[in-house]
Amino acid sequence: MGYITESACNDKDFLGQLSFQPNTIYVFDKGYVNYKRWYEINQKEAYWVTRLNKNAKFEVVEQKNYDCVEYADGGIISDSIIELKKK
């Protein structure tokens, strides 16, 4: 199920209304950082995807690189599963 809001709507307000469901993938904008919420999602056996800020502390757990020819056609360059570290 998707939700559409006005562009001026703050993600932080909206996220408080969600009830995280198992086996669901949540996608966040790079500007949204809330480690507590991401932990809650993990605890519900769900997943989340985001582009991390430059100063995020993490360790790569698993890395998969893709063929550069695929990327030239608009594909994925690489995919990483990471473990976030405390600041």
Count: domains in the chain: 1
Among residues 37, 31, 34, which one has the least CA distance to residue 19?
37
- Distance between CA 76 and CA 66 in Å, rounded? 7
* Structural domain includes residue 1: no
For Cα atoms 12, 52, 59, give the angle at the middle one, nearest 5 degrees: 130
Among residues 18, 76, 65, 87, which one has the least CA distance to residue 46?
18
Residue 3 pLDDT grade (very low, low, confident, very high; cuts 50, 70, 90): low
The boundaries of the domain holding residue 71 are 11-84
Model confidence, pTM:
0.63
* Structural domain includes residue 5: no
Q: What is the pLDDT of residues 27-81, one digit of tens each?
A: 887 767 788 888 899 999 999 888 888 888 899 999 988 777 766 777 677 788 8
